[in-house]
Amino acid sequence: MGDHLDAIGETQIFLTASSSYPALEQQFLQTRSHIAAGFRVFDPRTKLRSDAGRTIGEDWYDLIAHTLRRGVAIRMILTDFDPIVRPDDHRMTWNAVRRFISAGEASGRPDLLHITPAMHPARIGRGSAAMLWPKVMHEITKEARRLNALPADDAKRDLSMMPLLAPYMIGDHPNLRANRRLLPRLVPTTYHQKVAVFDDTNVYIGGLDLDERRYDTPDHDRPGEQTWRDCQILTSGTIAKEAAEHLNELLAVTSGAAPAKPKQSLLRTLSAPRTSSAFRLSPRPVVTELEAAHINQIKKAQRFIYLETQFLRSKPIAKALTEVATANPDLQLLVLLPGAPEDVAFHNSTRSDARYGEYLQAKCIDMIVKAFGDRVFVTSPAQPRPVTDDSRGTLKSAPLIYVHSKVAIFDDTAAIVSSANLNGRSLRWDTEVGLTLTRREDVAKLTKACFQHWLPDDGDPELSKQVATWRQIAQNNAQTPPHSRDGFLLPYPIAPARRFGRNLPGVPEEMT
């Protein structure tokens, strides 16, 4: 990708929604002409947090209506989900669409709103669909039973918000049931990006969607299942125009109707449907710039690498790290992960995909630790308050702080912020966007923001880049009661991941 001095302008860094949500509100309030955006989740019921935002209303419904009323066009691509595997998320998307449309009508300028609920067009092959048919029928039946248990009006409302699931059911409430004559072909991938462009000038990009679940503060003093550490960037320059072009081209590229046009600064993952193989489970990778950028920066790193990520399950990334560890004996690696995946920690999931993900992560961490030895430390954060619960949602008698960030820092020369986790799904299958910061002042600003958040206030800036510093703090905390700990850091608990994880031979590693 190289350095593009005019591609990325002045950069603002936001860690957690308490700072990023007000910044996003300000962009909506200031934009003069048009907004283009693509999010996995964007709930208009989300409360407004800025003083300026609250002068025009209580929530994003009010801000959307206000923005349209000012004559600003809004074009939003909102991720839709497989209605069979993810019925709750499918319903969530269409509820959000309904609220967007209502806000447009309330504004008096519905003509300025263009919202697209977009499900990735890739599908599993017919042979795979036939093999999964019993499981698929079970999932449809389970949702039918949920609907049948509701009052008739509530069931009707819910079903109206699941337009792509309804055709797979027959009968009337309370006797809805799966249509067993159909062969549903599941959706293996999704649009996972979180990006907004304002007047083709400013771009808001990173790992954070918008809803109440994702709201958190740097204190992380909410219940563990409501914590959410994330990172978002607001910047300008030619990357804003590239992001707008990406959103314009996205649906045509992922449908296979158009090629992906090169970008100078924007980093992407893009895929499209395959046209062959009855037993395919995967889409066709089209652009894997985010994977290539991470591997390229790993190879160039000399002194330290810092990875703050929701998942570390990519074997190509793990392999690149093991190779550079051998080639450069002075290189140190810091990895910050949540103590457990969200579905395992807070929803007690035992699904095969959750277990496969834990298997892959344990394997990747074992590879890295073997290569780096004492030059690597893997850490997880937890709140400094005690609980008696010993589930995967806790760590050393304290509630987890859930890490959703997608940040990678390489020496003091480069950093990648994106929507992509370090797993095969984000780096090969899903739609993701991000950028590389290459100005030293930007990299230093991001490094300082990340490290000051996790390390004690009196930490030495030079020692903060030493693995031994993080290890000592985390190990001391592990031997100390939660209320007496020095910050949030603890050693990552790999043993539970090893015990819970299960290999699924034949299943693509990119599946999870």
Question: Could you tell me the residue ranges of all domains in the chain?
Answer: 12-122+188-244, 126-178, 271-505
Average pLDDT, integer, range 103-108: 98
Q: How many helices (H) and strands (E) does the chain have?
A: 15, 20
The predicted pLDDT at position 2 comes to 39
The predicted pLDDT at position 3 comes to 41
Check if CATH label 3.30.870.10 holds for domain 12-122+188-244. Answer: yes
| Rounded distance between C-alpha atoms, residue 342 and residue 219, angstroms | 19
The predicted pLDDT at position 458 comes to 60
Confidence of residue 459 (pLDDT cuts 50, 70, 90): low
Domains 12-122+188-244 and 271-505 share a fold: yes
Task: Give the least confident one: 5-19, 219-233, 480-494.
Answer: 5-19
Q: Given 3.40.50.280, 3.30.870.10, 3.20.20.70, 3.40.470.10, which CATH number is that of 271-505?
A: 3.30.870.10
Residue pLDDT, tens place only, 357-372: 999 999 999 999 999 9
Provide the pairing of β-strand 332-336 with 376-381: parallel
Average pLDDT, integer, range 245-272: 97
Helices (H), 199-341: 238-254, 289-300, 315-327
Residue pLDDT, tens place only, 465-480: 899 999 999 999 999 9
Upstream peptide bond of 174 is cis (omega within 30 degrees of 0): yes
246 vs 458, residue with greater confidence = 246
Residue pLDDT, tens place only, 124-182: 999 999 999 999 999 999 999 999 999 999 999 999 999 999 999 999 999 999 999 99
390 vs 148, residue with greater confidence = 148
The predicted pLDDT at position 462 comes to 66
Say if residue 31's pLDDT is above 70: yes
Say if residue 277's pLDDT is above 90: no
**Residue 489 in 3-state DSSP?**
strand
Angstrom distances, CA of residue 92 to CA of 83, 95, 117, 162, 212? 11, 5, 11, 9, 13
Task: Give the least confident one: 100-114, 271-285, 304-318.
Answer: 271-285
| Rounded distance between C-alpha atoms, residue 36 and residue 116, angstroms | 11
Tokens of 100: 């967007």
3-state secondary structure 15-72: ECHHHHHHHHHHHHHHCCCEEEEEECCECCCCECCCHHHHCCCCEHHHHHHHHHHCCC
The predicted pLDDT at position 389 comes to 87
Average pLDDT, integer, range 409-416: 97
Contact 206, 406 (CB under 8 A): yes
Residue pLDDT, tens place only, 329-357: 999 999 999 999 999 999 999 999 999 99
| Rounded distance between C-alpha atoms, residue 123 and residue 180, angstroms | 19
User: What is the pTM assigned to this prediction?
Assistant: 0.96
